[in-house]
Amino acid sequence: MHPIPDIASDFRADLHCHTTCSDGSLEPRAVIDLALSIGLQGLSITDHDTVAAYEESISYAREKKLYLGTGVEFSCNFEARSVHVLGYDFCLEDFSFLSYCKRQQEKRLVRNRLILEKLHRLKIFIEESELFLSFQEQASTLGRPHIAAAMVRKGYVKSIAEAFQLYLGDHKSCYVAGEPFPVLEAVEILHQAGGKAFIAHPHMYADAAFVRRVLDVPFDGIECYYGKTSPDVVRRWKKVAEKRNLLMSGGSDFHGEAKPYVSLGGAWVSQDVFFRIFEKNLIV
Ligand code: AMP
Ligand code: ZN
Ligand code: FE
Ligand code: FE
- Domains along the sequence of the chain with CATH: 13-100+180-283 (3.20.20.140)
| Pocket of ligand 1 contains residue 75 by CB under 6 Å | yes
Tell me, what's the pLDDT at 14? Answer: 98
Residue 228 pLDDT = 85
Give every CB contact of residue 106 below 8 A, 6+ residues apart in sequence. none
Nearest ligand 1 atom to alpha carbon 75: 2
In ligand 1, which atom is closest to the CA atom of 82?
4
How confident is the model at residue 7, as a pLDDT?
Answer: 59
Instruction: For residue 22, give the ligand nearest its CA.
Output: 2
- The per-residue pLDDT for 6 is 63
Q: 256 in ligand 1 pocket by Cβ < 6 Å?
A: no
pLDDT at 139: 85
Residue 202 to residue 211: CA distance in whole angstroms: 7
What is the predicted pLDDT for the residue at 140?
86
Q: What is the pLDDT of residue 2?
A: 56
Question: With b meaning 16 or more CB within 10 Å and e meaning fewer, what string describes 235-256?
Answer: ebbeebbeeeebbbbbbbbbbb
255 pocket-lining for ligand 1 (C-beta < 6 Å): yes
pLDDT in tens, the chain (284 residues): 555 666 557 899 999 999 999 999 999 999 999 999 999 999 999 999 999 999 999 999 999 999 999 999 999 999 999 999 999 999 999 999 999 999 999 999 999 999 999 999 999 999 999 998 777 777 889 999 999 999 999 999 999 999 999 999 998 999 999 999 999 999 999 999 999 999 999 999 978 899 999 999 999 999 999 988 999 999 999 999 999 999 999 999 999 988 889 999 999 999 999 999 999 999 99
Q: Which residues 6+ apart lie within 8 Å of 14 measured at CB? A: 35, 40, 42, 43, 44, 250, 251, 252, 254, 264, 265, 266, 267, 268
Phi, psi of 23 (to 5 degrees): -120, 30
**Beta carbons within 10 angstroms of residue 92's beta carbon:** 16
Task: Report pLDDT for 210.
Answer: 96
Q: Nearest bound ligand to CA 46?
A: 4
User: Is the beta carbon of 161 within 6 A of some atom in ligand 1?
Assistant: yes
Residue ranges in 25-141 assigned as alpha helix (H): 28-37, 54-64, 95-121
Q: What is the pLDDT of residue 257?
A: 86
The angle that helices 95-121 and 144-153 make with each other, rounded to 10 degrees, is 40
